[in-house]
Structure 1
Amino acid sequence: MDRSSGVPLLRREENMTNPGECWKKWTRVAAMILGGAAATVLTTSGARVNAAGGQDGRENLKVLEPMVHGNLALYPVVAERSNDSSMLITLDEGIRSGEVTVTEAGEDRGLVRPGHAVPPRRNGAEVNRLVLVNNSKKPLLLLAGEIVTGGKQDRVIGADRIVPAGSAPIDLSVFCVEPGRWVESSANFGSMGAQMAQPSVRTPAMAEHNQAKVWDNVRASNKNIAAGLAAPLAAQVESTSSYAKVFSNTAVAAAVTAEYGGAEGERAMLRALKEKAAVGVVVTINGEVAWADVFANTDLLARYWPKLVRSYVAEAMTSSNAQGKPQTRDAQMFINSLSGGREVVETEPGIFRRSDVTGDGYRVFTLTALLPKTGYVVHLTKMRQPDTMARK
C-alpha cells in the first residue's frame, strides 16, 4: 500500500522453473518491450521461436558494435519497434520547473493538491523514506539510481515507478548515499542532474534493498576515485561522505568527462545512438558484461543519456584495471536472456507494473506503463549478479 496516497500496490511472486511458464513469461515481456511485435524466446531445447510460434532465427533486441572508451565498452541496443513516451516527464524536468517537489517524510504537510486529504504528520524524517508530489500535468517517470540532494541526507531512488499527474503525496523508497550527515541542508530536495548512481551503488539498493551495502559501496567508490587524484584533493575527496558531492567536485567531474572525450565526446555518442535508433545500451567493463539499460524509445534514452553515461564511466573508473577484450556476442547473449527461475511483480493498477526476475547470475527489472494508451515497457534494467541463484 502506498502509505500517502492510499493506492494499493499489488504484489505477486511466481516460481518460473516450469519450462512452459518460462516460455509464456518471456513471450509477454519481449512483446511488451516491442509494443506487441513478435517476441523471440528460448525453448528448453535452445531453439528460437517467435511469439506466433514460428522459428525465424532473428533477434528482436540486437546489439551493435560498441563505443569503446578505455576499459568501458557501450553496445547500442536496437529494437524492431519503439513506443511513444512523450506524455512522461523526468525527475530533472519536474524539479527544474518546480512542479515536482521532494521532502523528508513527516517534515512538511503542506505538499497537498486541492481536493486531497491532508496526511497526518509523522514522527520526523526517516533514512529510507521521502515524500514526493507531482503537481505537473504529466505522469512522472522515476528511475532507480536517480539521486536527490538536500534534506538531512542525499538519497538514491531504489525502484523504477510512475507517479500520476497531479498526485497526492507519494512515499518513495530510497537509500542514503551520504552516511555522514543527518542535519537538514534544505527543506526541499534537488536533483543531481549531472549523474545517476553508478551500477555498483544501484545494485544493493535495487536488488538487495540493503542500506549497509549501499553505504559500503559509496565509501568504496569515493575511496577509489580519490586514489586517482593528487594528494591534497585526494584527501579532501576521501574524507567526504557524500557520493553526490564527490562526483560534483570540479576535478572529479572533469576526470569523468575526460574519460569519454568531454562535452564533444558525449554529443558524438548521443549522435551515434540517435543515428542508429538505439533504445538502450549494454555495458561491459574490462571485457566483462555488467549492466544494461533499455528504454521505450530513442528519445527517452537521449533524455537520460548524460546522467547514464557518467554513471557507467564512474563504474569503470572505480573498477579494477583487469584486462579483458569486450565481445559483441557476449553483449548479445546478455540482452537475449530476460527470463529466470523466480519473478516478483508489483502493480499499481492503471499506473504501472514492476517486475523483478531472478535468473542464473543476473537480475532483470522491468517497468511497464499501464496508463491509458500505453501497456508497454518503459524501462528495463539488467544487472549481472554471479551468485544470484545460489542465494535463492
Structure 2
Amino acid sequence: MTVPFRIPTTDLDYCLEQLLEHKPPKILPPETIQQLCHTLKTQLLSVPNIMPLQSPIAVVGDIHGQYHDLLEIFQIGGAPPTTNYLFLGDYVDRGYYSVETISLLITLKLRFPDRVFLIRGNHESRTITTNYGFYSEVLSKYNGSADVWSYITDLFDYLPLGATIDGKIFAAHGGLSPSCQQLDQIRALDRFREIPHDGIMADLVWSDPDTEIMDFKLSPRGAGYLFGLDVINKFCHENSLVQMIRAHQLCNEGYTSYWQGKCLTVWSAPNYCYRCGNKASVLEILHSNYDSKRTSTTTSNYEDRFDSTKICLRQGVLPGQFFNIFEASPENDEDTLKGKSVNGINSEDEYAVNNGDFFSGFFREKSRKQHVEYFL
C-alpha cells in the first residue's frame, strides 16, 4: 500500500510563520513551494471532482492576489481550524500579492486538510495567469525564474471543480453548462489538465447567471454561457438541489442574489484592482434546515447576532445563511494610494506567537472586527 507523503506539521507551521508574522510577508523559497505543491497534488488525486462538504462553512469568492484582504477574511470569519472554509477559485492575478496569497492557501490546505477546501476558477490556468499578472509577479519576486509559476500552475490542474454542501447546495466558480444536466457528468470529467476552451469544464469556471433570459445564451466574455431561471430550476430539480453558489463576477455590494436566493454570487476582493471601490463579502452557511430559522447545534453562537428572517429578506439568502460584508483592509488602501507593485508595506511590526500556533496567534493579537451591516 502506498502511503502519501506528508510534510511535517512543524514545517507547515514554519511556512505559516513566514507568511503571517512579517511585514512584508516573506515569500517561500522555490524548493519549499515545489515540495508543498507536490504534496498537495498527491493528496488531491483522491479528491472527487465535486467535494461533498457539510455546514457550517464559510464560502469565499474571488481573492485575486489581495493578500491583506484575505487576512481580513480570517479576522471576520475566524482562523482555521476554528472555521471551515470553501474557496471558490481565482486566487491569483490582478492584485499585487498573488504569490503570497496562493502560498498561504496551499499551506493552510496542507495544515488543515479537513477545514480548508479549494476549488478551481478560470484564473487557475496557465494561459490566463500569463496575461493577467501572476506570471510577471513570479518573475519579479524570484529573480527572473518562472519555476514557482510552473509548480503552482501544475497544481491548479489537480483542484476540484465544485462542491456540494449538505447535499443541497452546489458550489462552483462560474456557472452551468448546456452540456451538463447531471452532477454525475461533472464527477466523470477528467479534470487533471489545463482548462479547455469549451465544454463542461470550461463552462463551470466561465459562465454567469442572467435575470433577463430564461435559457442559455453565449457569454460576452468569449467563454462559457449566460444562463437563466429555467436552466437553474431544471438543474436543481434534476439533482435534488435547492441552490447554487458561485463567484466570478464583481459585485459592488459584495454579493448578488438571483431569483430569490436560487443562485448567489459571493465576491471577496474589496476595492478590486485597487480602484473599483466595491465592498466584499463572505457567505456564512450555518445550516441547511430550511424549515427552521435555527438549530441548537449550528447556530447557537449566532442567535443574538442577527435576525434570520430580516437577513433572508434583505440579502436574498436562504435560512441559516448570511453575507458578512467587509471593506478593503488598511494595507489595501495604502497600496492604492502609493500605486505599489512591490512585496509588502515596509513595516517593522511583528505579531507575537502564542502556544506555538502561528496562525491563530497572528489573529489573537488583533481585535476581531464586527461588521454590523447585516444586523440592520
Q: TM-score, normalised by structure 1?
A: 0.24
Query: Radius of gyration: which is bigger?
Result: 1
Q: TM-score, normalised by structure 2?
A: 0.24
- Decide which structure has greater strand share: 1
- Decide which structure has greater helix share: 2
